[in-house]
Amino acid sequence: MIPPDHPRYRSLVIREHLADCAKKGIVSWEGLTAHGRGEAFDYLIGEKTSRSALLAERTAAALLISAHHPVISVNGNTAALASEEIAALQRASGAVVEVNLFHRTEARVTQIEDLLRDAGVEVFSGEAEKLLPLSHDRAWCRRNGIFSADVILVPLEDGDRGQALVAMNKTVIAIDLNPLSRTARTANLTIVDELTRALPQITRACGELSAAECRNLAGSVDNDYLLSEAIREMTARLSHALD
Amino acid sequence: MIPPDHPRYRSLVIREHLADCAKKGIVSWEGLTAHGRGEAFDYLIGEKTSRSALLAERTAAALLISAHHPVISVNGNTAALASEEIAALQRASGAVVEVNLFHRTEARVTQIEDLLRDAGVEVFSGEAEKLLPLSHDRAWCRRNGIFSADVILVPLEDGDRGQALVAMNKTVIAIDLNPLSRTARTANLTIVDELTRALPQITRACGELSAAECRNLAGSVDNDYLLSEAIREMTARLSHALD
């Protein structure tokens, strides 16, 4: 048992939860490693939503609610960490939610879809085809889901697919704690924030933004600025670490 | 299967290997998350050995070959990632190799010892006693092994034990990608480099250093300088990342 007064209680509870999900097959073992990687970057941004991340989150909301066919792509870690937050964002944005996995088996897809449905998500399911120009299993998606999206939110993405989606002229919104990753740098808009902090902020903004704010935000996306701000915050924190 | 054309092929293959080792019980699930945290810091140092890390590695070699009773302490992640590199360093330095685990069971110790022996390591084994002043299982070691060491190399260490070993007046050499960790800050010498890059550099230096170089390096260890250099490199890389 993790004592609730432990200074890293929340982080330890999340790790334990992810390990349980790994034992059940929802999270891949590699997903645990990816989570550890995120933890390190979250530590460097001080484990809170920065001003620039909040701007990115509001911009993401603007892009999602202005889209013709917005899609949220969900993998194992995202489902394990934030099914309810995905459900709330779906209600606020009207986005299609589709499961897409790197370590893909039909059984795992079904298991994750069930977990999402239990949390209130309306999951876009059915026959998948190998439609994306990728050599691995993330190529598999649905013709009327991810393949047809104009705006796609990809939390915890692998860089390869991020690039493929951008090359298909989709507007790609990434949630990635590493501002140097290929995903962060190739996405049209990158939110450098932890998933369970980022999703509720996007959901809130979906309900708050006026049509004019929406146009303004969607029309002035500057990912280089957002990434450089995230990096500036990490740099400041690192350089004072030994003080 | 991970496609060999994936730009992060090596990193993904290592993750897969660690996941396999976790399924067999060699690596703990906490070890997978810890590996991910290391990956993030490796990213920040550019996934290469820096000048200051190379200095630390040559200094480590000097300390090991000048020691009366050098010991290399091996845990699950180290065995899974670098058994052969440990064998080579043992041949070059004459160090005793002993297994010491946080998540300790006799079965796991035996499994890891077997893995090391298969890679050519001469493992110091036999009856362990609870000899270190620690409340957890890393307290268990051998009287003529870790307990008697004057110089001890602790790759991928937990902060608690690092402090206990320093308090016992041992010269502690850590390999830790996080220059902010307790281990990195309490060790006498910290190598901020990835394990499978660091170990061969120490081994090479063991064969190259003259007696005079050895004396010079061992007599001028400055861990604060090494850590601040590592942080400076991370900061520089971060701040130029978007150039």
> Among A108-112, B39-43, B137-141, B157-161, whose mean pLDDT is lowest?
B157-161
CA distances from B225 to A36, A103, B60, B179, B220 (A): 27, 43, 15, 11, 11
Q: Do B140 and B99 contact (CB within 8 A), yes or no?
A: no
pLDDT digits (tens, 9 = 90+) for A36-55: 999 999 989 989 999 999 99
- Chain A contact probe: residue of B235, B237, B243 with most A CBs at under 10 A: B235
Q: Which long-range contacts (CB under 8 A, 24 or more apart) does A121-124 make?
A: A121/A83, A121/A86, A121/A87, A121/A90, A121/A97, A122/A90, A122/A97, A123/A97, A123/A98, A123/A99, A124/A71, A124/A96, A124/A97, A124/A98
Strands A129-130 and A140-141: antiparallel
* Nearest-neighbour CA in chain B from A189: distance (Å): 15
Task: Quote the CA–CA distance of A219 and B28 in Å, as a whole number.
Answer: 48
Residue B192 — pLDDT band, cuts 50, 70, 90? very high
What is the mean predicted confidence (pLDDT) over B210-238? 94
* Nearest-neighbour CA in chain A from B7: distance (Å): 8
> Among A127-136, A192-201, B39-48, B86-95, whose mean pLDDT is lowest?
A127-136
Q: Do B27 and B18 contact (CB within 8 A), yes or no?
A: yes
In angstroms, the first-to-last Cα distance of chain B is 34
A120: left (phi over 0), alpha (psi -120 to 50) or beta: left
Task: Quote the CA–CA distance of B151 and B93 in Å, as a whole number.
Answer: 12
The helix/strand/coil state of A91 is helix
Q: A152 — contact with chain B (CB < 8 Å)?
A: no
Q: Which residues contact A23 (CB under 8 A, 6 or more apart)?
A: none
> Among A175-179, B3-7, B203-207, whose mean pLDDT is lowest?
B3-7
Task: Quote the CA–CA distance of A148 and A151 in Å, as a whole number.
Answer: 9
Look up the pTM and report it. 0.84
Q: How far is CA A76 from the centre of its chain?
A: 11
Q: Do B22 and B28 contact (CB within 8 A), yes or no?
A: yes
CA distances from B197 to B47, B153, B191 (A): 9, 15, 11
Over the Cα atoms of chain A, what is R_g?
A: 17
- Chain B contact probe: residue of A18, A32, A158 with most B CBs at under 10 A: A32
Chain A residues with CB under 8 Å of B43 CB are: 37, 178, 180
The 3-state secondary structure of chain B reads: CCCCCCCCHHHHHHHHHHHHHHHHCCCCHHHHHHHHHHHHHHHHCCCCCCHHHHHHHHHHHHHHHHCCCEEEEECHHHHHHHHHHHHHHHHHHCCEEEECCCCCCHHHHHHHHHHHHHCCCCECCCCCEECCCCCCHHHEECCCCHHHCCEEEEECCCHHHHHHHHHCCCEEEEECCCCCCHHHHHCCEEECCCHHHHHHHHHHHHHHCCHHHHHHHHCCCCHHHHHHHHHHHHHHHHHCCCC
* Nearest-neighbour CA in chain B from A227: distance (Å): 8
Q: Which residues contact B106 (CB under 8 A, 6 or more apart)?
A: none
Q: Do A75 and A97 contact (CB within 8 A), yes or no?
A: no
Q: Do A132 and A105 contact (CB within 8 A), yes or no?
A: no
Q: Which residues contact A120 (CB under 8 A, 6 or more apart)?
A: A84, A87
Backbone angles phi, psi at A151, to 5 degrees: -125, 130
* Nearest-neighbour CA in chain B from A2: distance (Å): 14
ipTM (interface pTM): 0.76
β-bridge partners, B185? none
A239 closest CB neighbour out of B7, B35, B231: B231
Q: B25 — contact with chain A (CB < 8 Å)?
A: no
Task: Quote the CA–CA distance of B99 and B96 in Å, as a whole number.
Answer: 10
Chain A residues with CB under 8 Å of B33 CB are: 15, 18, 32-33, 35-36, 39
Chain B residues with CB under 8 Å of A101 CB are: none
Q: Which residues contact A201 (CB under 8 A, 6 or more apart)?
A: A49, A53, A54, A57, A58, A193
Give me the sign of the Cα torsion angle B136, A21, A161, A105: positive
pLDDT digits (tens, 9 = 90+) for A88-144: 999 999 999 999 988 888 899 999 999 999 999 999 988 888 888 888 788 888 888
Residue A28 — pLDDT band, cuts 50, 70, 90? confident
Average pLDDT value for chain A? 91
Q: B234 — contact with chain A (CB < 8 Å)?
A: yes
pLDDT digits (tens, 9 = 90+) for A53-82: 999 999 999 999 999 999 999 999 999 999
Provide the 10 A C-beta neighbour count for residue B93.
23
B15 closest CB neighbour out of A15, A18, A30: A30
Alpha helices in chain A (DSSP H): 9-24, 29-44, 51-66, 76-93, 106-118, 159-167, 182-186, 195-208, 211-219, 223-239
The number of residues in chain A equals: 243
Token pair 């991970």 is at which residue?
B2
β-bridge partners, A190? A174
Structure confidence at residue A6 (pLDDT): 65
Joined tokens for residue A139: 């190529």
The 3-state secondary structure of A21-32 reads: HHHHCCCCHHHH
* Nearest-neighbour CA in chain B from A9: distance (Å): 15
β-bridge partners, A35? none
Q: A30 — contact with chain B (CB < 8 Å)?
A: yes
Chain A residues with CB under 8 Å of B22 CB are: 29
* A29/B32 Cβ within 8 A: yes
Q: How far is CA A69 from the centre of its chain?
A: 18
* A22/B39 Cβ within 8 A: no
